[in-house]
Amino acid sequence: MDEYVDLMNNLNLPDPRMMDVAVPANMHVGLAQDFVAEKGWALSAEQVEELLARDSITLIDLREDRERRKHGVISGSLHVPYARLGSELESHGLLNELARDTRKLLVFYCAFGERSAMAVQAAQAAGLARSRHLQGGLEAWKIRCRLLTL
């Protein structure tokens, strides 16, 4: 509940009670993962783990510092908060140059996959065809790790 309140407060809406703006936006976000999966831009936690073992991807953590401190990170991931994504995708932005220079697949992740689904759409629109997202986000990753340790 606290995370949801923090997320809503960070939307920078002129009036946080503007549910007519917030609710449709949240509904659109939920649909983003389905759209991205249909396009073939989604990877399961198992697929990400396999690609990490081959050192063929760069993981991009889109979450805020507060989320990272509270819930942890995937080791070796690069931190680019979602709010900075647009500038980092521009032609001289970090992510654009990283994709060009390393030729690695960029894999975005967030808490549950909503922001990363929107991020991969933005990356694709910016011409970064070698970009994907971790479907289900860090939560899916944690479930995968728990399954491996049982």
pLDDT > 50? residue 101: yes
- Running DSSP on this structure, what letter comes out for residue 104? P
Residue range 81-96: mean pLDDT, rounded = 94
Domain count, the chain: 1
| pLDDT of amino acid 26 | 54
Query: Residue 143: helix, strand or coil by DSSP?
Result: helix
Angle at CA of residue 128, ends 93 and 118, nearest 5°: 90
Residue 142: give its domain's CATH number: 3.40.250.10
Boundaries of domain holding 24: 2-149
Q: What percent of the chain is predicted at pLDDT more than 90?
A: 69
Confidence of residue 60 (pLDDT cuts 50, 70, 90): very high
By residue count, the chain amounts to 150
Q: Parallel, antiparallel, or unpaired for β 57-61 and 78-79?
A: parallel
pLDDT > 60? residue 30: no
Query: Residue 12: helix, strand or coil by DSSP?
Result: coil
- Tell me the DSSP string of 16-49: TT-HHHHHHHHHHHHHHHHHHHHHT-EE-HHHHH
Show Cβ contacts of residue 11 under 8 Å, excluding neighbours closer than 6 positions.
Answer: 22, 25
- Model confidence, pTM: 0.79
